[in-house]
Amino acid sequence: MRNRFLTAGLALMLSASFAQAQTSLLNTTVNITSSTAPNPRGAGYFNANVTLSLVAGNTYTIQTAMQTQPAYGIDTYIYLLSPAGATVGSNDDCGVASAANPYGSQIVYTPTASGSYILVVSTYSGGSTYSNVPVIVTYTGTNGSPVTPGGVPNVKVTPPSSGKLYLASLTLGETRATNPSVSALPQFRSVTRMVSASRDF
């Protein structure tokens, strides 16, 4: 009976840890003062480009200047470019009722391929310049993400039929899975056993 309760409790904790949650990927500011390639908006529009490492299957929410004051003070126009350079998303005005700045921009995107994407932060009007434009990127999903200092990415773990529970070690490096039932990710160095309910209790 003790084994059953301990196993159930640990399984619940593991499920909660790996449930889909909104996770921060990037929170920074950019200065838009000149035109830089690539720039789908055109050479007459200034822009700042940010490289994002996106993982297939996760859903990313990209926002610029949505909470800046005064309202309408920063008017962004953004594009998301695939690793091949194709435009996979763009937005002018975010259309989010809760936004303090309706002229901020937002893209929600689920990539089908992992890789380095380019976020082009441009302006609605040609020749406009802005300083300290907030750029916020969050994601939901269980397909992993590059590990960043202070960040805890989601990890996809499938407990084996033996009842043993496994936990992924959040360390940068190559994958070496200790059990084939674990959906290991290339961002992590190893996957180690957490508890064996049948033997450790």
Q: The domain spanning residue 79 has which CATH number?
A: 2.60.120.380
- Which amino acid, one-letter code, is at 101? N
Q: Are 35 and 13 members of one domain?
A: no
pLDDT band with cut points at 50, 70 and 90 for residue 188: very low
Residues 172 and 102 in one domain: no
What three-state secondary structure class fits 14?
helix
Q: Is residue 201 part of a domain?
A: no
Tell me, yes or no, whether 148 lies in a domain: no
Q: Confirm whether 173 is domain-assigned.
A: yes
Residue at 149 is within a domain? no
Give the residue from 99, 46, 48, 91 showing the smallest Cα distance to 73: 99
State whether 35 and 89 are in the same domain.
Answer: yes
What does the pLDDT read at residue 102? 97
61 pLDDT band, cuts 50/70/90, is very high
Alpha carbon 53 to its chain's center: 8
Does residue 62 lie in a domain region? yes
Q: Is the pLDDT of residue 107 over 70?
A: yes
Q: How far apart are CA 68 and CA 101, in angstroms?
A: 6
Side-chain half-sphere CA neighbours of 34 within 13 A:
2
If one counts the domains in the chain, the total is 2
DSSP track, 159-191: --TTS-EEEEEEEES---BSSTTS---TTEEEE
pLDDT of 197 over the 80 cut: no
Half-sphere exposure of 62 (CA within 13 A, CB side): 27
What residue numbers bound the domain in which 109 lies?
A: 23-140
29 lies in the same domain as 126: yes
Same domain flag for 6 and 32: no
Q: Name the band, by pLDDT with cuts 50, 70 and 90, for residue 21.
A: confident
How many CA atoms, within 13 angstroms, populate the side-chain half-sphere of residue 18? 20
**Of 15-19, 60-64, 172-176, which range is least confident?**
172-176
91 and 36, same structural domain? yes
What global pTM score does this model have? 0.65
